[in-house]
Chain A
Amino acid sequence: MTYHHDGSPRAHGAGTGRLTSSWQASGAPATLREHTACYGPLPQATGRARRELIDQVAAAGLTGRGGAGFPTATKMRAVASGRGRPVIVANGMESEPASEKDQALLARSPHLVLDGISLAADAIGATEAHLCLARTRDWLIDTVAAATAERHRAGLDRVAVTVHAMPHHYVSSEETALVRWLNGGEAKPANTPPRPFERGVGKRPTLVDNVETLAHVALIGRYGGAWFRRAGRAGATGTMLATVTGAVCRPGVYEVEAGTRTGDVLSMAGLDGGSEAVLIGGYFGTWHNLPTVADLPLSAGGLRQVGSSPGAGVLVALPAGACGLAGAAKVLRYLASESAQQCGPCKFGLPAIADDLTQLAAGRPDGDPLARLHRRLPVLVGRGACRHPDGAVRMAASALASFAADAQSHAQGRPCAARQPVAAQSGFAVGDWR
């Protein structure tokens, strides 16, 4: 992964330029002036007009861009009508290793995100605003802090945004983990109910949204919900940021219309001709052979039929001739190492299936790892405080399904000669959770 001199990840303004309009080739963040020149000033609505934003967001059909894809307006309404003064938390953690879009957005258009926080805070009546970033990314924290300082000098926001540098673990970006940490605890997922929208930071209704979602809110607040719907295909609305990596010539972040043909998105990034499979959604996503998904829209509705979803807009192309099972095994080992270790099935089950899948992929089965996997995978679903084990199981199951032929030959002790196809990052340093 190469970085620009300022440390921010590669990004491409190619595709439909809405969020990426102000992204500069140099990679430097857009200043407040440049941001205002590009998008116009922050709408300063008052009273009822503030809450009308939620209606606009509903009309736009905006769904969460953090991976869950929940309708944003529904969440905003729930928080606004909750008991207590609302709190807004912008999730900029991006602990998904295969995703770079949030970092790119914050590094290049921090004011878009901060505008979104401001407008959403007004709409729900929040009196407190937080922006959570991973503390391993100093360069990003500095950029965002500078942007908030600019806005403070300009007296722009009614509610000041507090920027937090949080522990960087895979599960720390889960919404209950954010809330728990902000409440003084560890950055580990908590039991639900209650969900943050009912009772979160300081026991108040809390709106937790991905930074890209809030960036879209910032634009909807300026141009309206109908404008948002003008982009989008195959029933999906607006644009989305997609991170395309793996066997592509131009890896990076692309802004595309939601519902764009998946194959087209891969082509934009210069997909290698020989690549045969892709991981969609992230490390907790699903593996598919290209012919299955190439014609499908990159949207929740479009991918549902194959049991997939765009997640946080992540696409990882498997290199030609590489073994998908080996890639899946490496991802699964990573996920197992990133368990918060709070719940038995995750703490013990994930390492067990990671071991099984590794044995299978290496072609050196001890007993019958395939049978063990088929027995264990269903047992691990829905038995943790968060969805981490569920995501890991779904990823592993999709690999076994999509690479079934490989699985059979591996099970019979015939490995394939493949190098490591997916640059799965090793678990983040054993830092603490507080």
Chain B
Amino acid sequence: MTQKMLIDRTACTGHGLCADLLPELIELDEWGYPIIIDTVPSGLTAHARRAVTACPALALRLARAPRQYEHR
């Protein structure tokens, strides 16, 4: 099932581990902050979870239902 990758932009401090673990969906901009494709295909769920756990600032979250979300 598809999930959404949500990010707390105020918590993110640009560590960049997420991009290392999920390069299919996360890319870093020139200042080290993630550009995220928020729809996580089912095949990448495990990797997405790993990326969420790895974030030192706990800025990432996986959500199941497509709730009202606003940011990439």
How far apart sit A191 and B69, CA to CA, in the bound complex (Å)? 10
Shortest beta-carbon distance from A108 to chain B in Å: 36
Shortest beta-carbon distance from B29 to chain A in Å: 5
- B-contacting 9-mer, from A54-62, A310-318, A381-389: A381-389
Q: A344-367 vs B: 1/0 string, CB under 8 Å?
A: 110011001000000000000000
Q: Residues of A contacting B69 with CB < 8 Å?
A: 193
B13 (CB) vs chain A CBs: closest residue: A344
A343 interface residue per 8 A CB criterion: yes
Shortest beta-carbon distance from B27 to chain A in Å: 10
Q: Are B32 and A344 in contact (CB under 8 A)?
A: yes
Q: Are B31 and A191 in contact (CB under 8 A)?
A: no
Q: Are A342 and B70 in contact (CB under 8 A)?
A: no
A329 interface residue per 8 A CB criterion: no
Q: Which of B9, B12, B29, B67 has its CB near the most chain A CB atoms (within 10 A)? A: B9
Q: How many chain B residues touch the partner (CB < 8 A)?
A: 18
Shortest beta-carbon distance from A429 to chain B in Å: 24
Q: Residues of A contacting B10 with CB < 8 Å?
A: 190-191, 342-343, 385
Q: Are A379 and B9 in contact (CB under 8 A)?
A: no
* A345 touching B33 in the complex, CB below 8 Å, given contacts A190-B10, A191-B8: yes
Q: Are A349 and B70 in contact (CB under 8 A)?
A: no
* A193 touching B67 in the complex, CB below 8 Å, given contacts A345-B29, A349-B31, A379-B29: yes
Q: Which of A191, A193, A195, A348 has its CB near the most chain B CB atoms (within 10 A)? A: A191
A192 interface residue per 8 A CB criterion: yes
Q: Residues of A contacting B13 with CB < 8 Å?
A: 344
A192, A195, A344, A352: the one within 8 Å of B33 (CB): A344
Shortest beta-carbon distance from B14 to chain A in Å: 5
Q: Which of B39-72 contact A (CB under 8 A)?
A: 67-72
Q: Residues of A contacting B37 with CB < 8 Å?
A: none
How far apart sit A191 and B61, CA to CA, in the bound complex (Å)? 13
* A383 touching B8 in the complex, CB below 8 Å, given contacts A344-B13, A344-B31, A348-B31: no
Q: Residues of A contacting B72 with CB < 8 Å?
A: 382-383
How far apart sit A385 and B6, CA to CA, in the bound complex (Å)? 12
Q: Which of A330-346 contact B (CB under 8 A)?
A: 342-345
Q: Which of B12, B32, B67 has its CB near the most chain A CB atoms (within 10 A)? A: B12
Q: Residues of B contacting A191 with CB < 8 Å?
A: 8-10
Q: Residues of A contacting B8 with CB < 8 Å?
A: 191, 385
Q: Which of A274-329 contact B (CB under 8 A)?
A: none
Q: Are B35 and A379 in contact (CB under 8 A)?
A: yes
Shortest beta-carbon distance from B57 to chain A in Å: 11
Q: Residues of B contacting A383 with CB < 8 Å?
A: 9, 33, 35, 71-72
How far apart sit A379 and B34, CA to CA, in the bound complex (Å)? 10
Q: Are A343 and B70 in contact (CB under 8 A)?
A: no
How far apart sit A376 and B30, CA to CA, in the bound complex (Å)? 9
Which B positions have Cβ atoms within 8 angstroms of A? 8-10, 12-14, 29-33, 35, 67-72
Interchain residue pairs A-B with the least CB separation, the first 8: A344-B33, A348-B31, A343-B9, A342-B10, A385-B9, A385-B10, A344-B14, A382-B72
Known: A195-B68, A345-B29. 15 other contacts (CB 8 A): A342-B10, A343-B10, A344-B12, A344-B31, A344-B32, A344-B33, A345-B33, A349-B29, A349-B31, A352-B31, A379-B35, A382-B70, A383-B9, A383-B71, A385-B10
Instruction: Return 13 A-B CB contacts under 8 Å, by A number.
Output: A191-B10, A193-B67, A193-B68, A193-B69, A343-B9, A344-B33, A345-B31, A348-B31, A349-B29, A383-B35, A383-B72, A385-B9, A385-B71
